[in-house]
Chains A and B, each alone.
Chain A
Amino acid sequence: MNRVDFSVASQAGSTLATNKLIKNTYMLLSATLVFSAIMAAVSIAVQPSQTIAMVCLFGGMLIGMFVLPKTANSSAGLGVIFLITGLLGFALGPMLTQYLALPKGPQIVGTAFGGTGIIFLALSGYALTSKRDFSFMGGFLFAGMMVVMLALVANWFLEIPALGLALSAGIILLMSGLILFDTSRMVNGGETNYIHATFSLYLNIFNIFIHLLHILGVMSDD
């Protein structure tokens, strides 16, 4: 009888921990997205050069790669994740200014923004409610990411527009798969740190927004 009680209590504790992780992740994700949007607005207002924007982007990536893993288990991790998302948001400024200058620019940016939100909410909601374990996609997604990153770097030098468009479509699909993967890892106990979970989901949203903006910009008649 005691064993049964212990098993029920343990399961309830695990469910509580999962619910707390999901709540903390979505709260921090909302805060970082708002902060990122504010920094993007600041960047549009001050109009930094493309070089400064790229330095912010690369800086954010390096901090995410080397500093965040060391601080994610402490309160300093919160400051680091706001620093990263602020830098990435600021890096969006020159690109957004360029798109907003197009005749249909505000519509394109608004559609990409709303579209990204709908894709994220629908996929994350699907992974949360279906309770299915999508971790079987891990190998496929990570291998796909590596191939796409190599092709992306190659295209910086080759500058082939059609390849850029195909890569944007591929990245949107990969990031959509990663939203399913990351959300199901939170639900099924594969991820227990809400700062790591927030950073993964933030990067998925950030990449979907940039590449959706690229596709819509190219496909619109402007």
Chain B
Amino acid sequence: MEMWLKIIGAVIFGLIIVRMYPVAKHWMEHGPKAEKGDWQAAILPLLAVIGFVILLIAMVRM
């Protein structure tokens, strides 16, 4: 990628981060807190995604 495109991309990503910051802050401070079993219910499907990606890697290496 050319340098001027990288700089424009960095500016756009910077804008996105600036717009995202108050949202992230709000969710961190006022978002609902996890109840018992909530993280487990979220982590299990994410672990399944990791396993699935490893399977896909094995498929393309065969």
Q: How many A-B residue pairs have CB under 8 A?
A: 115
- A61-B53 in contact (CB<8A): no
| Stretch among A19-27, A33-41, A76-84, A213-221 lining the B interface | A213-221
Cβ of B21: which chain A residues have Cβ within 8 Å of it? 146
Interface string of A93-130 (1 = CB under 8 A from B): 00000000000100110011001001100110010001
Could you tell me the dominant secondary structure of chain B's interface residues? helix
A190: nearest chain-B partner, CB-CB: B32
Give how many A residues have a beta carbon under 8 Å from the other chain's beta carbons: 50
Cβ of B12: which chain A residues have Cβ within 8 Å of it? 58, 61-62
Contact among A107, A149, A157, A215 with B17 in the assembled complex (CB-CB below 8 Å): A149
Q: Which residues B42-56 have CB closer than 8 A to chain A?
A: 42, 45-46, 48-50, 52-53, 56
Give how many B residues have a beta carbon under 8 Å from the other chain's beta carbons: 41
Contact among B6, B14, B53 with A157 in the assembled complex (CB-CB below 8 Å): B6
Interface string of A9-52 (1 = CB under 8 A from B): 00000000000000000000000000000000000000000110
- A220-B45 in contact (CB<8A): no
Cβ of B1: which chain A residues have Cβ within 8 Å of it? 50, 54, 156
Which of B1, B31, B56, B61 has the largest number of chain A CB atoms within 10 A?
Answer: B56
In the complex, whether A88 has a CB less than 8 A from a CB of chain B is: no
Contact among B9, B16, B20, B52 with A115 in the assembled complex (CB-CB below 8 Å): B52
Contact among B2, B16, B27, B48 with A139 in the assembled complex (CB-CB below 8 Å): B27
In the complex, whether A191 has a CB less than 8 A from a CB of chain B is: no
- B5-A54 in contact (CB<8A): yes
Least CB distance from B35 to A in Å reads 8
B interface residue numbers (CB < 8 A to A)? 1-2, 5-6, 8-10, 12-17, 19-21, 23-24, 27-29, 31-35, 38, 41-42, 45-46, 48-50, 52-53, 56-57, 59-61
**Given contacts A51-B5, A61-B16, A139-B28, could you give 18 more A-B pairs where the C-beta distance is less than 8 Å?**
A104-B60, A111-B60, A118-B52, A123-B45, A132-B41, A136-B33, A136-B35, A136-B38, A138-B31, A139-B29, A142-B23, A146-B24, A150-B13, A152-B13, A156-B10, A169-B53, A212-B53, A219-B57
- Interchain residue pairs with CB less than 8 A apart (30): A54-B1, A58-B12, A62-B12, A104-B60, A108-B60, A115-B56, A119-B52, A122-B48, A123-B49, A132-B38, A134-B42, A136-B34, A136-B38, A138-B32, A139-B24, A141-B27, A142-B20, A142-B23, A142-B27, A142-B28, A143-B24, A146-B24, A149-B13, A153-B14, A157-B6, A172-B49, A173-B49, A173-B50, A212-B56, A216-B60
